[in-house]
Structure 1
Amino acid sequence: MLLGAVADDLTGATDLALMLAREGMKTVQVVGTPPATFDPGEAEAVVVALKSRTIPAGEAVALSLEAARWLRAHGARQIIFKYCSTFDSTAEGNIGPVAEALMGELGAAVTIACPAFPANKRTVYRGHLFVGDLLLSDSPMKDHPLTPMRDANLVRVLQAQTSVPVGLVARETVAKGPDAIRAAFAAAEAEGPRMLIVDAIEDDDLRAIGEAAAGLPLITGGSGIAIGLPANFRRAGLIEGSGAPARLAAPAGRPVVLAGSCSAATRRQVAAAIDAGMPALKVDPLAIAEGTDTAGTVLAFIEAAGEGPALVYASDEPAAVARAQEKLGRERAGELVEHLFAAVATSLRDRGYTRFLVAGGETSGAVVQALGVAALAIGPEIDPGVPWTLSLGDAKPVALALKSGNFGADDFFLKAWSFLE
């Protein structure tokens, strides 16, 4: 292993694993820190998927350190801490506390924080994060049910979460290329430990940042930051990879879509699927709590829908989400949906379903945990940041497309199946 990554949620881990595979690294994704005896085989990069984005900061730090230690023990020369391209966090963390702890663990005097992912319209300029043409604080992320993002100034957001001074490497420096960026890193290091927000508005910026970061023990950011990293190992003669496959040989079986995300992107995807005639059933946290929406009613609907993919979704407008959270509590409202989808997924696999498209990081984590998936091979890219994957080491392998709520074109639920054999 050359490169190790600690990701704070499952779909983000898959997104990062895809990026590394696409750039030519043999990549394996594991779910949770593996046991010491787990053999990553010929993998050049291993991505550990945690569920640490919204748990208490102390727990997130402990899980992240455990994963980093496992990766280093298995040969990782550099560590990536991967979080969402919309910098999802609360006022207290968990990005700052985890990054600070990893700096200490790895002896890193300087690290960078760059969530930019231009292919998905996430860019950083003057330290401010944009979602498309909108500042993060003006985007739908301002109403996120778990991590509402009300400030686009990442220097300010990150500084509130850490005792390490936070600085900025501006676009003017980035545009000058790797040597100028390295000089900015060296200047910051001379002043003592630093976290540096780095501007990036296009892929060429990320490639330059990646080249400049070759010597950093720790890199933090969204999956886009990985674009430039495999080339460092290729220049050193350590990898020869050719990229991710165009199609995935999936196990024979029936398909289903389970959507728990309430993001604007997922709501558009749900609407597009329904408009195209995909059989669809909406479930509601309040109805789940009352016992009206059950695993049995959902399974009956899916079985009656026929051979093509059926859609079951909890996606709803922010006002409806807020009402459910007010009555049930924020955590319980989400957990009810996650537990329902997890129960449905396990029953579907027993009934011969092998192709699961799951929307939402928390939902994906619940489904993968329920299915007992320990590791994933990375397959073809459906849309930027979202591949098909295949479970590894299972008696009943399944194909999984684990979609971050904010990712994917409006027709994602419709076109994803064409990438499977």
Structure 2
Amino acid sequence: MLLGCIADDFTGASDLANTLAKGGMSTIQFVGVPKGTAQARCEAGVVALKTRSIAAADAVAQSLTALRWLETQGCRQFLFKYCSTFDSTPRGNIGPVAEALLQALPASVAVVCPVFPATGRTLFMGHLFVKDRLLSESGMENHPLNPMTDPDLRRWLRLQTKGEVGFVPHSIVRQGGEAVRAALDAEAKAGRRLVVVDAIEDADLLAIGAAVADQPLVTGGSGIALGLPENFRKAGMLSNAGSTYKPGKGPGIVLSGSCSSASQAQLAHYLLTHPGLALDPDALMAGSQKVTDAALFVRDHLDDAPAVYSTASPAKVAKSQEKFGRQELAEKIEHFFGALAAALVDEGVARIAVGGGETSGAVVTALKTESLIVGPEIDPGVPALAASGDRRVHLALKSGNFGALDFYDKALHALGEA
């Protein structure tokens, strides 16, 4: 294994795996930290954790465990992957995990760059944009778990870290890899080990990738990996073996837990032509809406690829969170989706398109999937995946804001046929 990656959620892991596979690296996504040795042909290993919304100390511990396993696989470089919208709170764990990885390797400096231009995530003057909106005006300020109210990543990250945060502006990035490398060295010498780096297009990410070729640690969204395969290719280390993914066959369903504006539109579009069952927070918390009821609904509509969803407007979500508690409600919904997915796969469901990072994590964990083979890209950042383990199922794990309006229909088609 050449590149060892630690992702803070499951959709982010598949997003990163997609980028690396498209770049020509033989890529495997692992569900949690594996117990054994990786497949011999694995050039990039992505360990998918579920740490995005947990306490910093727990996230650090899990990330260091993943790092130790990746080190035993012979990795030459490591990547800490977080969301392209930098999902975290002022007490979040992106900063603590990055600092812990710097210390453990050890590494003198690491870039911080969540940019993903293909989905409209750009960084300019240290401020993160979603398309033409500042992060704090993009809808992310209403995120149910990690509301993002400040687009200045230097300021946000400083709230989470012990050390000062560095910065490389776009005026330097556009000069190319050598200029970026020199700027990073200067920041490291000044004691600023985590360095926010501007990028507004893929060419910037390629320049940053070239600049970090010899650095032990890289941090960012999946876009930061665009230039990394080329570094290994230039060194003659890639086999160019390609993916072993094959489409599946069998019934398909949609599980949507994301409440992002994109997910709301995608679900509404899907429900125009497919049946759907909404989770009722009151009934769910009271125990009167059961997994068996949802499974019965799916069975009755299986020929029409039904959807089961908790997706709702920010106002409805806020009302339910106030009534039941943010964490309590989230855990109940995640457990429901996980149990439902496991039950349905046991009954023959073979294709599942999942919307939302927390929901995806719950589903993959419940399925006891060990690793995922990366297939073709469905939409930017979202590949088709084939699961290993006892339950053979094909999955699409979509981050809430990713995907075109018709994503769910495209996803089920990409995963195989009924």
- Cα-to-partner distance string for 1:192-212 (whole Å, 9 max, x where unaligned): 342110000001110110011
Aligned-partner Cα distance in 1 for 2:391–2:318? 38
- The aligned counterpart of 1:184 is 183
Aligned-partner Cα distance in 1 for 2:107–2:304? 51
- The aligned counterpart of 2:29 is 29
Within the candidate set 303, 312, 316, 2:312 is matched to: 316
Amino acid of the structure 2 residue aligned with 1:253:
G
Q: Secondary structure at the match of 1:6?
A: strand
Contact 2:7–2:81 at 8 Å: present in 1 too? yes
Q: Secondary structure at the match of 2:145?
A: coil
Aligned-partner Cα distance in 2 for 1:107–1:223? 23
- The aligned counterpart of 1:106 is 105
Q: Secondary structure at the match of 1:256?
A: strand
- Cα-to-partner distance string for 1:379-405 (whole Å, 9 max, x where unaligned): 11100000110112x233100111111
Q: Secondary structure at the match of 1:81?
A: strand
Contact 1:169–1:197 at 8 Å: present in 2 too? yes
- The aligned counterpart of 2:12 is 12
- Cα-to-partner distance string for 1:285-343 (whole Å, 9 max, x where unaligned): 22211233211221111111141311111000011101111111101111111111111
Amino acid of the structure 1 residue aligned with 2:317:
V
- The aligned counterpart of 1:218 is 217
Contact 1:159–1:166 at 8 Å: present in 2 too? yes
- The aligned counterpart of 1:304 is 300
Pick closer, same or farther for the CA change 1:40–1:174 going to 2, 3 Å. Answer: same
Aligned-partner Cα distance in 2 for 1:193–1:152? 20
The percent of aligned pairs where both chains have the same amino acid is 52
Q: Are 1:256 and 2:278 matched, yes or no? A: no
Contact 1:285–1:334 at 8 Å: present in 2 too? no
Contact 1:355–1:399 at 8 Å: present in 2 too? yes
Structure 1, unaligned stretches of length 5 or more?
A: none
Contact 1:10–1:51 at 8 Å: present in 2 too? yes
- The aligned counterpart of 1:420 is 415
Q: Secondary structure at the match of 1:416?
A: helix
Aligned-partner Cα distance in 2 for 1:395–1:320? 38
Q: Secondary structure at the match of 2:213?
A: helix
Aligned-partner Cα distance in 2 for 1:180–1:161? 28
Aligned CA RMSD, in angstroms, stands at: 1.3
Amino acid of the structure 1 residue aligned with 2:368:
G
| Cα drift, residue 249 of structure 1 | 2.6
- The aligned counterpart of 1:327 is 323
Aligned length: 416
| Cα drift, residue 191 of structure 1 | 1.8
- The aligned counterpart of 2:334 is 338
Aligned-partner Cα distance in 2 for 1:291–1:324? 15
Contact 1:114–1:198 at 8 Å: present in 2 too? yes
1:31-110 to 2 correspondences below 5 Å: 31-35=31-35, 37-110=36-109
Pick closer, same or farther for the CA change 1:402–1:415 going to 2, 3 Å. Answer: same
Aligned-partner Cα distance in 1 for 2:413–2:394? 13
- The aligned counterpart of 1:407 is 402
Question: Normalised by the size of structure 1, how large is the TM-score?
Answer: 0.96
Contact 2:166–2:192 at 8 Å: present in 1 too? no
Contact 1:40–1:46 at 8 Å: present in 2 too? no
Aligned-partner Cα distance in 1 for 2:304–2:22? 29
Question: Normalised by the size of structure 2, how large is the TM-score?
Answer: 0.97
